[in-house]
């Protein structure tokens, strides 16, 4: 049987409120050989700074304590199973870091300036280059140490959570990916690999590795 891959959805939206998830996540998991299962949380986008002892910033938007609680609980439940494969994308990487005791940079331009644009107006994705640690699992999976990614974020990880190490960076120094040193497959990427997964074999390899590891976990 193909392994089940849970995908946390976006929050409530619309006149008749619905939970949604971009089709690229579902398509990437399906093409990689998994069966996607959408997990509906509640509304909210920015991780509330109260979860890591930070201060509110004017750029924070759509904060929902309920969604934060749901996804942090989800992350902690996954972390408690070292052999359970987990891939965290964008907000997911930030939540992972907070769940492991790390904190976030509330607004990238305040700390790193604007030499690299990580998010365009109207929350549009922007391309920028990243470099990977050649010795990282992520580099081995993707088969590259430098490439262009699609980015949509204004926050970034700050102090790393327990057991995490940074394995990718943007040209301005923003951490773009992390790995766990204590788990079989626990990777967080700040960019959006699902946006290119059906047109570029490199990001699809990341989903394929997730599905392959999930298949092995299911059999144990």
Collapsing DSSP states into helix, strand and coil, what is residue 103?
coil
Point out the catalytic residue in the list 90, 118, 179, 183.
90
Collapsing DSSP states into helix, strand and coil, what is residue 210?
helix
User: What b/e sequence results for 15-30 when a residue is b if at least 16 CB atoms lie within 10 Å of its CB, and e otherwise?
Assistant: eeeebebeebbbebbb
CA torsion, ordered 167, 163, 93, 215, to nearest 10 deg = 90
Residue 154 among the catalytic residues = no
Point out the catalytic residue in the list 176, 192, 209, 213.
192
Q: Residue 85 has which token pair? A: 């494969």
Point out the catalytic residue in the list 71, 176, 179, 194.
194
Residue 192 among the catalytic residues = yes
Residue 194 among the catalytic residues = yes
Task: Quote the CA–CA distance of 34 and 103 in Å, as a whole number.
Answer: 32
Active site residues: 90, 192, 194
């Amino acid at each position: 049987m193909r392994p089940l891959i849970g995908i946390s959805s976006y929050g409530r939206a619309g006149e008749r409120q619905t939970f949604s998830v971009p089709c690229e996540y579902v398509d990437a998991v399906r093409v990689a050989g998994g069966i996607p299962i959408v997990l509906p949380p509640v509304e909210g986008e920015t991780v509330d700074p109260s979860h890591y002892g930070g201060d509110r910033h004017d750029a924070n938007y759509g904060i929902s304590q309920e969604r934060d609680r749901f996804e942090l609980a989800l992350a902690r439940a996954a972390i408690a199973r070292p052999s359970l494969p987990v891939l965290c994308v964008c907000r997911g990487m930030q939540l992972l870091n907070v769940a492991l005791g790390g904190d976030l940079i509330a607004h990238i331009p305040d700390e790193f300036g604007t030499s690299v644009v990580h998010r365009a107006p109207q929350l549009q994705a922007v391309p920028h280059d990243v470099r990977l640690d050649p010795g990282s699992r992520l580099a081995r999976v993707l088969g590259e140490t430098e490439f262009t990614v699609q980015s949509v974020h204004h926050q970034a990880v700050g102090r790393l959570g327990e057991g995490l190490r940074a394995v990718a960076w943007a040209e301005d120094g923003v951490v773009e990916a992390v790995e766990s040193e204590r788990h079989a497959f626990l990777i967080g990427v700040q960019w959006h690999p699902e946006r290119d997964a059906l047109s570029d074999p490199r990001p699809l390899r990341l989903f394929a590795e997730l599905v392959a590891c999930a298949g092995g976990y299911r059999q144990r």
